[in-house]
Amino acid sequence: MTRTIAPRVRILVLLFIAVTGALLAGAGPASAHAALTGSDPAQGVVADKAPTQVSLTFSEKVALNDDSLRVLDPKGKPVQTGSPANVSGTTYAVRLKSGLADGTYTVTYQVVSADSHPVAGAYTFSVGAPSRTVVSGTGPAAGGGVVGGLYAFGRYVSYAGFIVLAGGAAFVLACWRPGAGVRPLQRLVVGGWVALTAATLWLLLLRGAYTTSGKLADVFDLDLLGQVLQTKTGAALVSRLLLLAAAALFVAVLFGAYTRRDEGEEKRDLTFGLAVGGVVVAAGLATSWAMAEHASTGLQPGIAMPVDVVHLLAVAAWLGGLTALLTALYRAPAETPVEAAAVQRFSRVAFGSVLALVVTGVYQSWRQLGSWSAFTETRYGQLLLVKIGLVAVLVGIAAVSRRWTGRLTDPAVRAGKAEKTQARKEQVAVSKATGDGKGTGAGSRDTRRAAQLARQRAAVDAARRKRLRDGDPNRFGLRRSVLTEAGVAIVLLAVTTALTQTEPGRTEQEAKAATSASAGSGTSAASGALTLDMPFDTGGTDGKGVASIDLDPARVGGNEMHVYVQRPNGRAFDVSEVKVSFTLEAKKIGPLPVNPDHIATGHWSANGVQIPMAGDWKISVTVRTSDIDQVTVSKNAQIG
């Protein structure tokens, strides 16, 4: 049996390593869940005078320390004073020194989102005119690197440990109570407890370095550990450790006193007590995730956290029970094989768990995505589609397992007859081989001979039962389908872990919308395209409107320009003439005139607009609404 299972276990382990490695390879700081939705000064702007403070707005509340927001001058020296503070809602600011010189300044931020993930980044703005800077502009390494990978691996192990611990214990109590005395099942559940405990300690030690420096050397920094213990995530990890102490007591009773009790009212009472206590402890452990991650922030946290707890418990009952069933099918002793009735009971538990997963999963998907487009336009949505596909595959394989389970319930009359016949033959063979029978007097038997005979008979009986069990094609088919389910479950768990580290689709789309809005007010978007809105009034009749300029990619060299003119009510406005010019006053370049072609009502366009060098360009638009009514409006923007 060991030779048979070893290659399959190796396949599952290799699958786990491959999938986890592939998912962790893409993990990094960009997987954080709070997003920067605005800033003042904004990215790339050139201010006429130095601001007194820098403020950042995030998509959700974040946690800060003294170094969370830093502003560096062109030489890389910090110019902020005091500690950053929450000025309103999700906006945080830090004050600047007075008398800042002209040049380009770099803002770096490193905060922790409300769902426990680090957020880091950087951007630049200029005072007076852009300048060279010695600052690289890259954000801190929090949440990435080796520490980020180790932290992600710890999260995977903690989820796996919880699933095996809770699901394995539930399988014993709800489906196969004799399994409490089966060594392989005991080792499985205890292994889940050990994995979850070790992973929780591991995450607690890594947490400080994960959210700050990203350096492996800071893992054992006691000051950082003290700071972690004061955070929501630190409190969740500590509460998990305390609950694991209660779980250790539960496991000790389940595999100790419970196995020694005979069937009867007393054992039924103990079963009820263990079931209630197990549900309370498992729900508490699940809550330690819900209280510090996605469910605790965003929409409807009061509903989302209980739903998340139910979701985790359903996952544990299904996948943990599946792991316990796989262990029982392959490793249970021949004298206590897993019963067909137990497999059937687990099938019902798994079906109920899948229903719970569907209901809670639909709610979680709506809450984290918010729109159908987020399924394909965000990484969270794409991973969720992969997860849904894997669940569908798993349900399909489970349906095959249910068919094998149904066949196991059929009476094996022929197998029973064969077993009795074989037992009689082997008993006669053993009697002849050992001289047990006629010609041996009772007085000539010694204790060692009787013990040897008993061991031989037990070995023969065990071998017979194992042979009959392994020869059952229905049980063999069930083994293979359950093993396949376990392989898919490993991949599913890895994808789920990646989801918990990915920015929710709703948040990502809101951040993109905020970035687009800031671009509309004169800020360069992340893609490099520039949009400027310039209200105008020529002074004549029907002379008011808005001229919008789109410059793509807003870089040195050739650019594509579109001009849209609209009336105050938003309708397209076909004015008599539109002209555009570009001036780089700091270098005394320009004005460079551009005469766009009229394309459609209210739309003008020009290709190959040449920008000779990067800088703070003044973009002027001249709008003529009649022979005598015209006006020129302008705005500055960083190009290049």
pLDDT at 144: 65
The residues that bridge with 632 in the sheet, in sequence order, are 622
Contact 627, 575 (CB under 8 A): no
Cα dist from 553 to 276, 509, 611, whole Å = 63, 22, 11
Give the tens place of pLDDT for each residue, 101-139.
888 888 888 888 776 777 777 888 888 888 877 776 444
Percent of all residues in the chain with a pLDDT value above 70, rounded to a whole number: 77
* C-beta atoms surrounding 559 within 10 Å: 23
57-61, 431-435, 540-544: which range is least confident on average?
Answer: 431-435
CA 148/CA 522 separation, integer angstroms: 36
Residue appearing with tokens 């370095």: 209
Enter the tokens of residue 104: 């380009």
Beta bridge partners of 107: 71, 123
Whole-number pLDDT of residue 202: 93
Q: Where are the beta strands (DSSP E) in 538-629?
A: 544-552, 557-566, 577-584, 589-594, 597-600, 603-611, 615-624
- Give me 556's structure tokens: 């040195």
For 193-231, what is each residue's pLDDT tens digit?
999 999 999 999 988 888 877 778 888 888 888 888 888
Q: Is the dihedral of CA 446, 452, 453, 454 positive or negative?
A: positive
Across 523-536, average pLDDT? 65
Q: Residue 580 to residues 215, 551, 610, 624: CA-CA distances in angstroms?
A: 51, 12, 13, 12
The DSSP H or E segment spanning 70 is strand 69-72
Nearest to 57 by CA among 17, 92, 7: 92
Residue 373 in tokens: 């487009």
pTM metric for this prediction: 0.62
Question: What is the SS3 assignment for 633?
Answer: strand
Residue found by looking up tokens 């400080």 in the block: 208
For residue 24, give both structure tokens: 């962790």
**More confident position, 57 or 298:** 57
pLDDT, greater one: 94 or 459: 94
Calculate mean pLDDT across residues 69-88. 87
Element (DSSP H or E) covering residue 217? none
Region 306-322: mean pLDDT is: 91
Q: What share of the chain is helix, strand, coil (3-state, %, to 5)?
A: 55, 20, 25
- Here the tokens at position 325 are 């069933």
Residue 72's φ and ψ, nearest 5 degrees, are -115, 135
Query: Is residue 570 scored above 50 in pLDDT?
Result: yes
CA dist 190 → 8, 164, 280, 420 (Å): 22, 9, 18, 38
pLDDT in tens, 464-502: 555 555 556 666 677 777 778 778 878 887 787 777 767
- Please provide the average confidence, as pLDDT, over all residues in the chain: 78
pLDDT at residue 454, as a whole number: 66
The helix (run of H) or strand (run of E) holding residue 207 is: helix 183-211
Question: Which tokens sit at 241?
Answer: 């450790």
**Is residue 23 very low, low, confident or very high in pLDDT (cuts 50, 70, 90)?**
very low
Q: Is the pLDDT of residue 417 over 70?
A: no
CA atoms within 13 A on the CB side of 522: 19
Got the DSSP string for 117-150? -EEEEEEEEEESS----S---PPP-TT-HHHHHH
Alpha-carbon distances, residue 74 vs 55, 130, 165, 302 (angstroms): 19, 10, 55, 47
Structure tokens at 1: 């049996």
Structure token pair of residue 167: 């699901």
Q: How far apart are CA 387 and CA 155, in angstroms?
A: 17
Contact at 8 Å (CB) between 549 and 534? yes
- Rounded Cα distance between 70 and 54, Å, is 9
Q: How many CB atoms lie within 10 A of CB 191?
A: 14
Encoded tokens for 157: 């192990």
Q: How far apart are CA 80 and CA 475, in angstroms?
A: 70
